[in-house]
A and B are shown apart, each in its own frame.
Chain A
Amino acid sequence: MRSRLSILFASLIWIASAQAVAQTNGLRLPKTIEAGTAFSIPSTGSGKAVLYIVGPGQVLRREVQLGEPAAFASGDLHNAGHYLIVLVGGSSTENGAFDVTAANQPAALSFIARPSRLPVDLHDGISGVAYVFDRFQNLVLQPTQVSFQLSGAAGVPQMRTVLTRHGVAWTKMDSASKEGAAQFEARVGNAEGKRVIQQVPGDPCRLRMNARASGQRMTLETEPVRDCAGNAVPDGTIVTFTETYTGGEATVDVPLKRGIARTEMPAYNGATLSVATGVVLGNEIHWGKGQ
């Protein structure tokens, strides 16, 4: 009994499919339509019918006179994707499908730049990704040239031109050797995206301090702290002073202020003073009598 029912359903599906194929042949549809353009769908026969167009995020319903083309104005269909068409007449139903593609003219882009902050002198440290869209926010899948430019306060701007693949173009840039904000720009046609990349000093280079007596205590002070490219390390960066003496130790974490770190520590004869910031070590001073 069950096998007979299965055969019956299979036959019905086959007949319906065959009829659908036949009806599709009846509707003469374009294979693709550019989003936002005007188009028409011709029909045969006589009498009235209803035409349905069902697509991504959009459904159109039109009453049509069979034998006359159904016209659609520009902008009626604007979402790219696969659309199903069903023409329902008095005694028959025809259906078909077509694709709506993005307009070839790019109108907008989304630009993602990472990171927004990085140390100077970093090869391929900045990445930019641009997504190209038409005026209806459809991703333009046609290969399109996107221009990237990274320009800072100093130095020659870096430029790249990249062809999109599947609507996306990406590139990598080096950070400059001088600190400061850089403009990272992507452009396609009249569309552009701008991001600001903060290029910050790298690890301190040649950390040096000096010490002088100050009553019962001593004053420790670094020289202006700079990275290897000569950029001043930003204020607030922590510098650790350590004093090791017989039987004890003293440490203090001091933030840079106006480029230097300064603190007072107890003065012990024979003490060894050291300075460090992050994983960078500076010079050592041996504090002796008479200093």
Chain B
Amino acid sequence: MSTGRILAVLLAAVTIALIVGGTVWPIQSASATAGTGARLLRPSSSPQAAVENLADEIGQQAWDNAYSSLANKSEFTELDFVRDLTGSYPSLRSHASLDSFDVRPQHASADDAQVRLNLRWSTVVGTFPDTRNLQVTKAGDRWEVVWPLVREPRVPPQVIPVNYLRWDVIYRGAEDDWGSQDVESPHVRIVDMHPVDRGGRVVVMGELLNEDVVPAFVTVKATLLAKDGTAIATEDSFDKISHVLLPKQVTPFLIEFKNVALSQVDSVHMQPSSTLIAASADPVVEIEDQHLNPGPQPSLSGKLRNQSGQVVNVAHVLGTFYDNSGQLIWVSDGYVERALLPDTPVSFAISIPPDIASQIKTERVVTSTYSSSRFQ
């Protein structure tokens, strides 16, 4: 037999072995997204198996199966269960898919166990965690999960008068004379800028002010220049900025350059740009109970309270952190996965690098919001 044939037979054998292995002993968290979990559910003969099965069914959005497997399903409806996981109002949760999960047994007795289920949901703006501490009880020869339902509040029917300002724009038309005026772009200004070296990457942070009397859509681009004046790299702030700035509003921004050392950089060329856009001064979001949480995974947590009548579908939280001398030392951001209902606080948390957390003296938090039909 020639060497080629031997290699072909060998490859075929290994492939078949891997397929069989993957089918018989699948990785449970991966099967949640593979869409094959339904055929791979194990008997719920242990607390861990029961929770894994439930997570699999949640990942496949097999709500009927998941709900019917719960020990406390008589306490709420299937719709309540689905709303707990996907949100009552359109939000990041509504469009998220289960990326992965892990199960951590905490405590177990003969017919009762405590298990922590860490769900990681995937969205267009990244993943968000969802941790549930589950009680698992034994019913006959199988274990069933007691689901700790989080009831998302419902807003009762009402009329909330809102009369904040709204800006509309009429731009210059193509048929206008040469030299005739167009609407002036908003005047924006970088009021703070600070490049730092973060272990193999350069991070440019700063704050941008809309000093005009009209709303602006803003972006910030930075170019790192070497000593000979050549451009090393150009990047923009992407979503590490609040793109819509109302008059006199300030947003932090963060621009990251990977694989560049600050020692290579002679100067940084900043290019803020702004466009006049139609916008609304509504909704107003209060950020309350802001706390810095030290520890191995430091974070800034707080609650967002929508003071307006409009439901906010997606909220983006940006934190700016300063040291003792008032120097900007870090910018961090995060998204809130649940919709903000009028006057209903929703928790948020944004992570902070541990080495930065110890230097933080003060912080400033801003939000930008997205509501179904318009961006602000």
Contacts and interface: CB of A to CB of B under 8 A. Distances in A.
A110 B179 contact: yes
A40 to B, nearest CB: 36
Interface string B281-311: 1001111111100000000001000010000
Given A255-B281, A257-B163, A263-B284, A249 B290 contact: yes
B191 to A, nearest CB: 6
Contacts of B191: 279
A253 B184 contact: no
Interface in A80-124: 110-113, 115-117
Contact of B246 (A195, A249, A255, A279): A255
A152 interface: no
A252 interface: yes
* Majority-rule SS of A interface residues: strand
A200 interface: yes
Interface string A230-246: 00011111110010000
Interface in B11-47: none
B284 A255 contact: yes
Interface of B: 163-165, 167, 177-179, 181-184, 191, 209, 211-215, 246-250, 281, 284-291, 302, 307, 363-366
29 contacts: A110-B177, A115-B184, A196-B181, A201-B213, A203-B248, A235-B281, A236-B164, A236-B213, A236-B247, A237-B246, A238-B246, A238-B249, A250-B289, A250-B290, A250-B302, A251-B287, A251-B365, A252-B286, A252-B287, A253-B249, A257-B163, A257-B165, A265-B286, A266-B288, A277-B248, A278-B211, A278-B248, A279-B191, A279-B250
Given A237-B247, A250-B287, A278-B209, A263 B281 contact: no
Contact of A247 (B164, B215, B248, B291): B291
A121 to B, nearest CB: 15
A263 B286 contact: yes
Contact of A131 (B179, B182, B287, B288): B179
Most buried by B among A237, A257, A266: A237
Most buried by A among B213, B287, B302, B307: B213
Given A204-B248, A236-B167, A237-B213, 5 more contacts: A117-B184, A237-B248, A249-B290, A253-B249, A255-B165
